[in-house]
A = this chain, B = another copy of it.
Amino acid sequence: MNPPPESTSASPIRAVDVIRKKRDGAELSRTEIEYLVRGYTTGEIPDYQAAAWLMAAVLRGLTRAETAALTDAMLRSGEVLDLSAFPAKKVDKHSTGGVGDKTSLILAPVAAAGGLLVPMISGRGLGHTGGTLDKLESIPGFNVNLSVLQFCRVLESCGCAMIGQTAEIAPADRKLYALRDVTGTVESPYLICASIMSKKLAEGIDGLVLDVKTGSGAFMKKEEDAAFLAELMVQTGERMGKKMAALITDMDQPLGLRVGNALEVEEVLQVLRGGGPEDLRELCWELAAWMFHLGGLAATITQGRHTAEQLIVSGQALEKFRQMVTLQGGDASVIDNPGRLPKPRHTLDVVSPKSGYVKAIQCESVGTACVILGGGREKKEDSVDPAVGLVLHKKVSDRVTTGEPLCTIHYNSQALADRAKKLVEESYEIANAPPAHPRPLVHRVITTSVEAN
């Protein structure tokens, strides 16, 4: 253990006193939180003091003011994009992660086609959930590693751009997240909120729509936990002057019918062409409507939905997607010819063992099956196979007969396919009747800045 820094006259705050204050349940001042974040980012405050503080924060919780101060300090630990030269309203969407959730790839071009600027910085898949960057990279040549300058040029040309985290954005979050990962301090709504919001607000946006997932495939299985985090993020964003809305949406079964990187891009293209699965379309129009509403382009959610649907029907959203793919170095020919996307060597059906109705799908297991096939990551360092995944034929409430395919597994390794098949078989629950009360797609909307509907 290296000794902690001595307090100096320039910095009369001592880390140990700040830790003790939080340990005892008192509220930290903005100055104290800034001291911690800056000190940890520069390396002045050692890992062990940050770890003790994080655990105290997990167990004592943070007030709304502390959460906002933490978010702000983390945000200002790095570069904040200055998009003020762009006249359009900047609105982004963030999802807490799910299985088959490809909405970002649809929403960015839809919103840009409607006149918003969408500077989307996304993540990779981790655990059982997929990641936007992995999906985009299944398009041959698509480059998610743009510099800030390149990112701004794509934004200027087509109104949307989708990249990964850069070294300049919120370095405090990167360092803190790595520490949280190994010190059991990930699972705190306050720390999760500050982590998400610091990165999103560094995009220099005016408004943010949050898609907070709940159910068996979400990180927050319980709706009240999802709602708590959603409220925290909405309040934090509003304290920082942003237009905010959070939708608590269902992740008790996969979204859409396809899970896996290239497979999901195919489904994105279906939706952008006016087709695609009902639940995915429905959620996209709802989220797009909120983006338009927060960006001042739709007075009501109904009007926003109408705008989104028109942008699909007119083909403008698809054109926007084509532009973005081209500008980011991707092979745009896949758009008209999805057969050029990466394909697996084999497919295999999982069939229903009996007749009846799909009562439930253990959604996390479906996500894990995709990871097992090679379509996701168990560890950060893992590479992904863009071709593999699952195509569902049956979802909750669907009727099935004995031997009818529930799902088709797309794979490159028989051994992995066998493991995935077993997981999928176990994840489908077939009963004599469909669920009496199917779960809604949107559980509730949390917002204070605007009127819903």
Contacts and interface: CB of A to CB of B under 8 A. Distances in A.
Interface of A: 1, 3-4, 15-17, 19-20, 23, 46-56, 58-60, 175, 178-179, 181-185, 187
B59 A55 contact: yes
Contacts of A183: 16, 19, 48-49, 51-52
20 contacts: A1-B175, A1-B178, A15-B182, A16-B182, A16-B184, A19-B55, A20-B184, A23-B58, A23-B184, A48-B179, A48-B182, A49-B51, A51-B52, A52-B52, A52-B54, A52-B183, A52-B184, A52-B185, A59-B59, A59-B60
A210 to B, nearest CB: 26
Contacts of A1: 47, 175, 178-179
A166 B136 CA distance: 62
Contacts of A60: 59
Contacts of A178: 1
Contacts of A23: 55, 58-59, 184-185
A56 B184 contact: yes
Nearest to A183: B52
Nearest to A21: B184
A19 B55 CA distance: 10
Nearest to A20: B184
B47 A46 contact: yes
Contacts of A17: 184
Given A51-B183, A55-B59, A59-B60, 16 more contacts: A1-B47, A3-B182, A16-B181, A19-B184, A23-B55, A47-B47, A48-B48, A48-B50, A48-B182, A51-B51, A51-B52, A52-B184, A52-B185, A55-B56, A56-B59, A59-B59
A43 to B, nearest CB: 10
The 3 closest A-B pairs by CB, nearest first: A19-B184, A52-B183, A55-B55
Given A179-B1, A182-B16, A52 B49 contact: no
A6 to B, nearest CB: 10
Contacts of A184: 16-17, 19-20, 23, 52, 56
A182 B1 CA distance: 10
Contacts of A55: 19, 23, 51-53, 55-56, 59
A16 to B, nearest CB: 5
Contacts of A187: 20
A222 to B, nearest CB: 15
A1 B183 CA distance: 12
A327 to B, nearest CB: 37
Contacts of A16: 181-184
Contacts of A56: 55, 59, 184
Contacts of A47: 1, 46-48, 51
A399 B8 CA distance: 47
Contacts of A51: 47-49, 51-52, 55, 183
Contacts of A53: 55
A55 B55 CA distance: 6
A411 B187 CA distance: 56
A182 B184 CA distance: 20
Contacts of A19: 55, 183-184
A56 B55 CA distance: 6
A51 B4 CA distance: 13
A248 B48 CA distance: 35
A178 B48 CA distance: 12
